[in-house]
């Protein structure tokens, strides 16, 4: 289990690049929500890293809350049918809400989540995602802040997992085939 960095075949984004991009996005968020009381909603588990880092690049007050959701169905593909394993602790009616995600892959998770959150009548509801795979999208999602686009390959690190592991890699990259074959 040691030396997990050696199991990446290609680094796509280093932690330095991720942090620099987060600082830029945080500047935009600080400006956009200067007069609002912002609630960041992280989607467990993948968004833990980006929530921790993005929030610390912000200079304004924010609150944080978390949801845990699970896709139904078998296999590695998201089915789009989602159930809530842990709901928010916060009533978001009238609140300015920014959903924070590690990645938008097919878009099915956020398509469901945004519909669900919108029904609770927030004052505003937007998305920040660290990564996005434009070629994998099945359900279009209106994203306000995007860190980086990724190729449609199996990518791990910075919250992105393979079988629950590799989230704690600080860099983001493609996994060596010997790991999953």
Known catalytic residues are: 105
- Chain residues binding ligand PRP by CB under 6 A are 43, 45-46, 71, 78, 101-109, 161
Which residue is at the shortest CB distance from ligand PRP? 46
Instruction: By CB under 5 A, tell whether 161 contacts Mg ion.
Output: yes
Instruction: By CB under 5 A, tell whether 46 contacts Mn ion.
Output: yes
Q: Report in angstroms how near the CB of residue 74 gets to Mg ion at its nearest.
A: 15
Instruction: By CB under 5 A, tell whether 167 contacts Mg ion.
Output: no
Nearer to ligand PRP, 103 or 117 (CB): 103
Nearer to ligand PRP, 36 or 71 (CB): 71
Gap between the Cα atoms of 96 and 38, Å rounded? 5
Residues near Mn ion (CB under 5 A), total: 1
Retrieve residue 169's tokens.
């890699």
Nearer to Mn ion, 108 or 175 (CB): 108
Is there a contact between 117 and 65 (Cβ–Cβ < 8 Å)?
A: no
Q: What angle do CA 50, 154, 128 make, to 5 degrees?
A: 25
Instruction: By CB under 5 A, tell whether 147 contacts Mn ion.
Output: no
- Residues engaged in binding Mn ion (CB under 5 A): 46
- Residues engaged in binding Mg ion (CB under 5 A): 161
């Amino acid at each position: 289990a040691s030396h997990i960095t050696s199991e990446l075949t290609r680094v796509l984004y280093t932690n330095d690049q991720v942090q620099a991009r987060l600082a830029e996005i945080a500047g935009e968020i600080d400006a956009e929500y200067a007069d609002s009381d912002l609630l960041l909603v992280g989607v467990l588990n993948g968004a833990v890293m980006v929530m921790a880092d993005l929030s610390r690049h912000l200079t304004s007050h924010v609150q944080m809350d978390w949801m845990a959701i699970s896709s139904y169905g078998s296999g590695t593909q998201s089915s789009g049918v989602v159930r809530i394993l842990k709901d928010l602790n916060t009533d978001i009616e009238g609140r300015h809400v920014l959903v924070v995600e590690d990645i938008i892959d097919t878009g099915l998770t956020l398509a469901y989540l945004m519909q669900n959150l919108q029904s609770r009548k927030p004052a505003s509801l937007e998305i920040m995602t660290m990564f996005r795979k434009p070629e994998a999208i099945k359900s279009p999602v209106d994203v306000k802040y995007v860190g980086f686009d990724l190729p449609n390959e199996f990518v791990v690190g910075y919250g992105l997992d393979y079988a629950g592991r590799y989230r704690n890699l600080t860099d983001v990259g493609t996994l060596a085939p010997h790991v999953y074959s």
